[in-house]
Structures are given as structure tokens and as C-alpha cells.
Amino acid sequence: MNKFLRIIIGLLLCLATAQAQDESFQKAQTAYDEGRYAEAVLLYESLIERGIDNPELHYNLANACFKDSDLPKAVSHYRTAWYDLPRDPDIKANLHFALNAAGAIESTPSFLEHLFYSLSRSEWIIVAVIGYILLTLLFILMLFMKRARRTLLRIGLIPAALLLLAGFGWNQWRQLSIHPEWVVVKTEATALFGPVEGSTAHFKLPLGALVQQRSTDSKGWVEVEYDGKQGWLKTDHISPVSP
């Protein structure tokens, strides 16, 4: 009986929490619709602080940040939403618009990057699982259908290719975790030739620019790539964005 009561109480608490979160989300959306963008930002951020993390929330927060003239946060949250929904046209369009508003140059992905980023990391895992299951089923069939082994082996190339492709796709996202993207959060950020104060200036970065990490320094420097150029920035000039 005690276990049953604990289960009921747990379910009621979950329902109450979900209802409170839904009310907070509605309040944030109402604030946004009424033009109270700063309030909407705070409400959306409070939901994230409570452990809610989904692309819709990041997308709405990005919209509120953009309306509130906070381009770095807008770019950061649009990009975070894109990690989970890389094919979503609204996320891609708004991220492009925010980067243009910041005067930032948007990197052009290579053919392979475009291919591997067409699916999210979780979607590549699903593809790998499907490939593994199909391959396992084919091997089981080969044990009982000896005359059809050649045909089954040929068919097995398809799930094997899926597994290989999923491995490359997952690894592409893994590399993005190892070498994360950063958003420039300070005006007049200047990348230097070396990770030393007073080093020669290399190139300037606009507020809200999205850059790729190449390496780091133990003294709080990050080597970034932007528009085909590489330079060093202090970590207090940038904020990380990672899947």
C-alpha cells in the first residue's frame, strides 16, 4: 500500500511540475506576443535553469533575444536549436538572418559537412541501430537459408553501408563537441596572432559572430577560425555553443 501511495504521489508531483512548466511557457509566449521581450527572455531562461532543454524552447528564446537586441544570445540559441533540428527551415532562416544582422560571415559547409549535418546526432544513432538490426536479421537468415547466402550477403551491403554512414555522421557531431563553436559576446573583439597579451592583431570579429574552435591554451585563450582565418581570443570575449 505504501508503494502504491508513493507512486500516486510521484505521478501527481510530475503532473503538477509539467503544468507549472506549461504555464511558465505560456507566460513567456504571452510576454513575447505583447512586445515585452526582456521579460520573455527571463521567463524562457528560467525554464532552462529548471532543466527543460528542447529545440522549441531555445528557438523561442532566440527570437526573444533577437527582438531584445541581444544578437550573441540569439545566435547562440538559434544554433543550439539547430543542433537538434538541423533541417528545420525556420531555425536555419532565423539563424541566417541573425548572423546577417550582426554583420557576421556565415561559414559555407563542405559537401560532406552538409551531408553529415543533414541528420542530428540522435538521428544518426537511430540509423546505426536500424542498420545493426537489419544486419543481425540477415545473419540469422543466413544460418537457416544456406542456398540464399550469396543473395543475403549482397543485401547485407545495404545495412553495412548504413552503419558505416552513421558512424561517419556521428563522428562529425563528435568532432563538433571536441572543437565546439563559440559566439562573440564583446564588441571590438580582435583575434591575435598568438595567445599572448600584446600580440599582433590579426582580424576583427563582429558582435554575434559564430566561430569554430581549433585549439585552446591553458591560460584562457582559444584559437578560433572565422572566414578562413585563424587567430587567438580570450575566453571572456566569447561564449561556447556545443551540441
**Per-residue pLDDT in tens (0 to 9) along the chain, 243 residues:** 455 444 544 444 444 444 446 688 899 999 999 999 999 999 999 999 988 889 999 999 999 999 999 999 999 999 999 999 999 999 999 999 999 999 999 988 899 999 999 999 999 999 999 999 999 999 999 988 888 888 988 999 999 999 999 999 999 999 998 999 999 999 889 999 999 999 999 999 999 999 999 999 989 999 999 999 999 999 999 999 976
- Chain centroid to CA 153: 37
**CATH code assigned to 2-102:** 1.25.40.10
Residues in a beta bridge with 201: 192
Query: Is-contact 172 179, C-beta < 8 A?
Result: no
For 195, half-sphere exposure in the C-beta direction (CA atoms, 13 angstrom radius) is: 13
Q: Where are the domains of the chain?
A: 2-102, 114-178, 181-241
C-alpha distances (whole Å) from 151 to each of 157, 159, 163, 180 are 10, 14, 19, 44
- The CATH number of 181-241 is 2.30.30.40
